[in-house]
Amino acid sequence: MISEIQYGGRITDDRDRRLMITYAKKWFNDLLFSSDFKFYDGYSIPKVKRLDEYIDYIDKFSLIDPPQIFGLHANADITYSTNRAKSMLEKIVYIQPKEASSNISGGETRDKIVHNLANDMLIKLPKNFIQHEVREKLQNMGILNPMVIFLRQEI
């Protein structure tokens, strides 16, 4: 029920849905209730009784999860960052003018266009924008809140 309806019902890609089902089979079993169970080193279920103790425990977690928590190799983060940077650069190159003569006819150079785009993006950000703080605030608003999902995609 959890993987198919609660979470899986929000997943539209078949491969992502299969991955969610695989994670559910791996993590949602009787081992979860044993006293020595750990999701990952440093990510065990605390032996506390009050809500504020749980909140304190959760607040101590890092804002950025290492890939090992999800069963991935440490290099997954490097691959993700590399692919993200490559994708951004490809998009910048794609929107540049294709003709070399644009500079001769009075148009802007490719460097100037990229510079203007980067400046435009920076101007649109708040002066005190800190990505991990914004992510934390969005998580506090509720990770499954449709507005939060939209804002995270926009960022």
Per residue of the chain (155 residues), give pLDDT as tens. 767 776 656 788 888 888 888 888 887 888 888 878 887 887 888 888 999 999 999 898 888 888 888 888 888 888 888 999 999 999 988 887 666 554 455 677 778 888 888 888 888 887 787 877 877 777 777 766 777 777 666 66
Q: What is the pLDDT of residue 114?
A: 83
* Residues ≥6 apart with Cβ < 8 Å to 124: none
Residues 115-124 have pLDDT tens digits of 888 888 888 8
Q: 17 and 8 in contact (C-beta within 8 Å)?
A: yes
Residues 4-34 have pLDDT tens digits of 776 656 788 888 888 888 888 887 888 888 8
Q: What is the pLDDT of residue 98?
A: 67
Q: What is the pLDDT of residue 87?
A: 92
pTM over 0.75: no
